[in-house]
Amino acid sequence: MIEVVNLGKYFYTNGKKKVLFEGVSFVLREGDFISLTGESGCGKTTLVKIMAGIETPSEGYVIYDGVRPSFFKDYFVSKFRNKNIGFVFQTFELIESISVIDNVLMPVYLAGASISRYRERAREILRYVGMDEYINSDVKILSGGQKQRVALARALVMNPKYIFADEPTANLDEKNAVEIVKLLERINREMNVGIIFITHRLDVMEFANKLAYIKDGKFFIEDNGKMSLFKGTNEV
Ligand SMILES: Nc1ncnc2c1ncn2[C@@H]1O[C@H](COP(=O)(O)OP(=O)(O)OP(=O)(O)O)[C@@H](O)[C@H]1O
Ligand SMILES: [Mg+2]
């Protein structure tokens, strides 16, 4: 469980305080599926980066599985992040010149874990995301939707408890965007991975179980009834 407590982020420009957001409190549990929306520049990426311990808040703090890190904060948070959080980005961030499976194994390599121990796991995850035909292909031949599937496999290879996805559908057409979010939904449901994903798209945010948004520096979160807009699209 990742608990966000009274987070605020401020900037000072020419001595003037600018509040990006303040008083943000909520919980991301394993099994949660949260969409995060809000106008460009409202602080969505910043909030998710603070949760991942990549940026520091101006006030408030984050509790990781019941621990509020104080001493050895950076060490603790980076260890938590490497073990528990998989990341997906708008621009996929794959290495084009190496194969699909080598991209998926990159977090294993970076963690200094045994590549041979994870090779079967990487194949299994690539099958899960529907990319089994492309296991040994170069990334550069893939479409955007296929690249994002590979990026999802990479995020999952080390068995994270959470996925943080910053606009994973922004570079995809409508059909692929919906497919990627349906895949996120399946991962959430079948693997009990807690997901927070940023999006500007009304059609894909509706797949989430909780809808979060930032408006005028304030944070809101509500349960998604999952009824009106896309009734019938969630094959539960
Ligand atoms: N060092 C800084 N000093 C002042 N303002 C900053 C600084 N760093 C970031 N900002 C401001 O914070 C905001 C960035 O927020 P962030 O990138 O989290 O927004 P976002 O909601 O993810 O936007 P988008 O939808 O465009 O990705 C910007 O408005 C930027 O001007
Ligand atoms: Mg952003």
Structure-model confidence comparison of residues 228 and 195, the more confident one: 195
CA distances (Å), origin 227, targets 8, 100, 208, 212: 33, 37, 12, 17
| Intra-chain end-to-end CA distance of the chain, in Å | 24
The enclosing domain of 102 has a CATH number of 3.40.50.300
Which tokens hold the place of 228?
């009106």
For ligand 1, whether the C-beta of 11 sits within 6 Å is yes
For ligand 1, whether the C-beta of 44 sits within 6 Å is yes
Q: How confident is the model at residue 225 (pLDDT cuts 50, 70, 90)?
A: confident
Residue 229 domain flag: no
The pLDDT value given to residue 28:
98
Residue 161 domain flag: yes
Of all protein residues, the one whose alpha carbon is nearest to atom 16 of ligand 1 is 43
Q: What percent of the chain has pLDDT over 70?
A: 96
Report the run of H or E that residue 63 belongs to, with start and end.
Answer: strand 59-64
Q: Contact, 137 vs 85, CB < 8 A?
A: no
Q: How confident is the model at residue 227 (pLDDT cuts 50, 70, 90)?
A: low
Number of domains in the chain: 1
For ligand 1, whether the C-beta of 191 sits within 6 Å is no
Tokens 């073990």 -> residue:
83
Evaluated on CA atoms 95, 2, 84, 182, the torsion sign reads negative
Determine the structural domain holding residue 201 and report its residue range. 2-223
pLDDT reading at 94 higher than 60 = yes
State which ligand 1 atom lies nearest to the alpha carbon of 38. 21
pLDDT reading at 228 higher than 90 = no
Please count the CA atoms within 13 angstroms of the CA of 183 that sit on its side-chain side: 28
Residue 86 domain flag: yes
State the chain's maximal CA–CA distance in angstroms. 56
> Which residues are within 5 Å of ligand 2 (an ion), measured at CB?
45
Structure-model confidence comparison of residues 225 and 3, the more confident one: 3
State which ligand 1 atom lies nearest to the alpha carbon of 42. 21
For ligand 1, whether the C-beta of 43 sits within 6 Å is yes
Mutate to test the pocket of ligand 1, among 37, 44, 198 (most ligand atoms within 8 A of CB): 44
For ligand 1, whether the C-beta of 37 sits within 6 Å is no
For ligand 1, whether the C-beta of 45 sits within 6 Å is yes
- In the three-class reduction of DSSP (H, G, I as helix; E, B as strand; rest coil), residue 107 is classed as helix
Residue 151 domain flag: yes
How many angstroms separate the CA atoms of 173 and 62, rounded? 35
Question: How many angstroms separate the alpha carbon of residue 211 from the centre of ligand 2?
Answer: 17
Residue 236 domain flag: no
Residue 233 domain flag: no
For ligand 1, whether the C-beta of 42 sits within 6 Å is yes
Question: How many angstroms separate the alpha carbon of residue 45 from the centre of ligand 1?
Answer: 8
Residue 230 domain flag: no
Q: Averaged over 109-134, what is the pLDDT?
A: 95
- CA-based nearest residue to 105, from 92, 94, 118: 118
How many angstroms separate the CA atoms of 175 and 165, rounded? 18
Residue 231 domain flag: no
